[in-house]
Amino acid sequence: MKKILLTLSIIILLPLNMLAYSENIIPGGENIGIEINSEGLIVVGFYKVNGKYIGSETLEVGDIILTIEGVNVDSINEMSAAIEKNIKNNEVNIQIKRNGKIKNAKLTLIKDEGVYKTGLYIKEKVTGIGTITYIDPKTKIYGALGHEIIMNETKSRVEVKSGNIYESYVNGIDRSVDGAVGSKNATILYEKQLGTINENKSVGIFGKYNKTLPEKETLKVAEWKDIKTGAAKIYTITEKDVVEEYEIEITKLNKNEINSNKSISFKITDERLLERSGGIVQGMSGSPIIQDDKIIGAVTHVIIDDVNNGYGVFIRTMLEEGEN
């Protein structure tokens, strides 16, 4: 079986002319830095204190610590301050979220060398890189990645409290080979914020683009019936900050997966891109797919055992999620 790698009930019927997104959008291709601040603090592992994994007595990997003694904690510094101020009998009351449900618990701590230790490995934010897919010129809503952001340690979708996207500069590429997916190496320019991150969904991250819109021609948004197997291209960066076009071939249209991030199957055919990257690499997720001068989707996955091949998401699926 081929392995696949990621490269987040009331129905209201609206007439087509009431759709909020534009029928002509600005194509992306630019590399972006991503920073998401989650709600609370995420437990990603445990360490021994005096020979015991004291944190695992109460918590599980993936738990989100929301409060300590009623005090909201969104950073490790806030957590430390709340513990120091409120600890009694080597324990504190905490509120956590586990599998979407709120629970109350007690966290035991051990004082070691004058410092209270929790036995927990904690994350307060998630960072990474990807590719912007589109910007709607009317609403300034953007979409990127084409798939959700999953935290490696917990294998769960990251919940967004706040977040930003930034300019990013590609320094080089670790090439893909069958069985081992490579990645873009990039520097995130935190002083150059591009926009906010409001949602992390199964078909991408979405938010508001806050900078002046790129001076690019818009492309028409394709209907599903417009897409066909055969030649197409992607926009992406392989060096510095220059977006280039690369040839691909649409190999299959998966209509039964039209609402998922695997509705379009494709393979890279451009010899320049194969020479530079070896195939699809991490960081290409979100690269827009263009066919017949229409934007049809975005790169989302690579097939690990055959890195020239991958999947894409249908562009209207992204647009609809971005507007919800």
Which one of 168, 265, 277, 285 is the catalytic residue?
285
The CB density around residue 231, as the number of other CB atoms within 10 Å, is 12
Q: Specify whether 301 is catalytic.
A: no
**3-class SS at 28?**
coil
Amino acid letter, residue 174: D
Q: Is 162 a catalytic residue?
A: no
DSSP 199: E
Residues 6+ apart with CB under 8 A from 42: 62, 63, 64, 65, 122, 123, 124, 151, 153, 154
CB 247 within 8 A of CB 269: yes
CA angle centred on 133, ends 22 and 127, rounded to 5° = 130
**Which of the 8 DSSP states describes residue 138?**
T
Are 49 and 116 contacting, i.e. CB atoms less than 8 angstroms apart? no
**Alpha carbon of 301 to those of 4, 15, 69, 129, 138: distances in Å?**
7, 33, 43, 15, 29
**264 closest CA partner among 235, 221, 229:** 229
DSSP, collapsed to helix, strand or coil, labels residue 73 as coil
Catalytic residue among 63, 136, 147, 176, which?
A: 147
| Of 156, 162, 270, 306, catalytic | 270
**Is residue 56 flagged as an active site residue?**
no
Closest CA to 173 of 245, 248, 278: 278
> What is the rounded distance in angstroms from the CA atom of residue 141 to the CA atom of residue 137?
8
The residues facing 121 across adjacent strands are 45
Q: Is 236 exposed, middle or buried (0-12, 13-18, 19+ CB in 10 A)?
A: buried
Residues forming the active site: 147, 270, 285
